Structure formats: C-alpha cells, structure tokens
Structure 1
Amino acid sequence: MTNPAPTRQPCPPAACICGHGQLLDTPGADCRILQLTRHEERKLIDRLENLQSLEDLQRLCGRMQELLGIVVRITPGYNEVRSVRGLVFEFDEQPGLCRKTREAIPAAIRRALARRPEIFFRLLDEHDLLRGA
C-alpha cells in the first residue's frame, strides 16, 4: 500500500482566495498545485533565489509548469525599466495557487536578479530592450 502524496494545508478562511476546497471538490480538476506543500515551497523559493543564469530561470519556470501547473510570464513593464522592480510577473489563473505563493515567487526571482544583474540584462535583451545599445 502506498501513501498518497502530501498535499498543501488549506489557507485559513477569508485569508486567501486560492480555492483549495473547491479544487478538491471538483472531479477531474488539476490538483498538481496541491503537491506544493509549505516545505516544498521553501525549497522552490530557495532555488529561485539562487539562479545562476537565464537558462536556469527558464528551466525552473518550465519545471514549475510541468510539475505544478504554475505558468509564470516575466516581461518588462510598460514604462521605463530601470531596475528589477520594473518587471511584470503574470500568472495564469489557477485554482489552488495560494496568494502568498503568488507573491513569494516574484519576490524570490527579483532578489536573484538583483544579486546577478547579468541575468536581468539578458532577460531585458530577450525582449529587445537593450538591442543596439
């Protein structure tokens, strides 16, 4: 007999709009996001904070989508981008994705990009912001 994979504890009522209970009650719903326990979330945040290259960031974003269903897009803001604060992080709508996780992932990526500005510049260059400079 195998043990089921641990699932994330539900957020306190009215503290989050993640829809944890609704996701569990919906038959055939994609429940991969519930495998992101608080312990696993800390490990993910640590990995995001210690990025080594743009390829590493892209690989981690791909793994988040593959394993958890989290789709995150990182784009330069509409106005001038002078620092990592000018980046826009967009998540696809996904039931079960906690509000705190939605805030922690961009914060971890911003800290990593601030620590390694060459990754930040490569990200901007992918969007043609530094081409010809």
Structure 2
Amino acid sequence: MTIRQPCPPGACVCDREQLLETPGADQRILQLTRQEEKKLLERLEDLKSLQDLERMQQLMYQQLGIRVHVAPGHTEVKSMRGIQILIDDLPGMCRKTRQSIPAAIRRGLEKRPEIAYRLLDAHDLFREG
C-alpha cells in the first residue's frame, strides 16, 4: 500500500507521524497520496448532481475516513460562499487537503448552481411558509 509522503517539517500540523505510531489507529487518510488527492479534487470540481455530491461524501468517508458536511450557512445564502463546507478533525489529514476539498466542492457548485439550489431545497429554504 502506498501512503502519502510527509509534508516538509514545520509546514503542516497533520500529526502524520503520531498516527503512524499509534497501534490500531485509522490510517485510511494516509492512502490519499498527492496524485490521488489531485484526482479527488478534479472529481469534486466536476459534480453532476446533489446525489453525486452525497455519493462523493459517502465514498470519502468509507475509503479515507473523511467526513465532509455541506449545508447552507446560518445567514442568508446569496452566493456559494454562504454554503458551509466543514471537515471533521482527522489525524493525518494534511492542512492543505483540509482547505482544498471545500474549495473544490465550491468550484463544483459554482459550475452547476442547480446543485446548490437542490441543497437549499433539501434544507427547506425554498419551502413557502
């Protein structure tokens, strides 16, 4: 099994070494090599539907242990920035990866705004009172 190369010393706070030294720790995140991360980001930027986004969230959790939450923010959503994309803490996840996944999802939503509309609809923001 190929695992991700370590970040340069002092460049990241991913606790990669600590994760490797912990017996029985979930090390799936380390399978996300830089090459695999590039493929994942391209895939997230090319979302086809809300179901596609949900499937990608499920696959990221099953294969890598990454939990991504995508939901409308607490304030009025006027742009894709109003959609909240959070990743649960995960030892071994590179700081840059933690930033690049939400950015890729946002780019995917900007390419296909109808996915964001379905997301808002799923959270009852378009339901008439």
Same fold per superposition (TM over 0.5): yes
Instruction: Give the conservation status (yes or no) of the 8 Å contact 2:69–2:87.
Output: yes
Identity percentage over the alignment? 60
Partner of 2:21: 25
Q: Which runs of 4+ in 1 moved over 3 A?
A: none
The reply to whether residue 39 of structure 1 matches residue 32 of structure 2 is no
For structure 2, the 5+ residue unaligned runs are: none
Any residues of structure 2 matched to 1:97-112 within 5 Å, and which? 97-112=93-108
What amino acid maps onto 2:95 in structure 1? R
The separation in 1 between residues aligned to 2:107 and 2:127, in whole angstroms, is: 24
TM-score under structure 2 length normalisation: 0.96
Number of equivalent positions? 129
- What is the letter of the counterpart of residue 72 of structure 2? P
Residue 3 of structure 2, aligned match among 4, 7, 29: 7
Contact 2:72 2:120 in 1 (8 A): yes
Is there any run of 5+ residues in structure 1 with no aligned partner, and where? none
Partner of 2:44: 48
Return the offset for 1:80: 1.0
SS of the residue 2:125 aligns to: coil
Q: TM-score scaled to structure 1, two decimals?
A: 0.93
Q: Which gives a bigger RCO, structure 1 or 2 (Cα 8 Å, sep 6+)?
A: 2
How far apart are 1:12 and its partner, in Å? 1.4
Distance 2:78 2:115 in 1: 14
Superposed displacement of residue 76, structure 1: 1.2
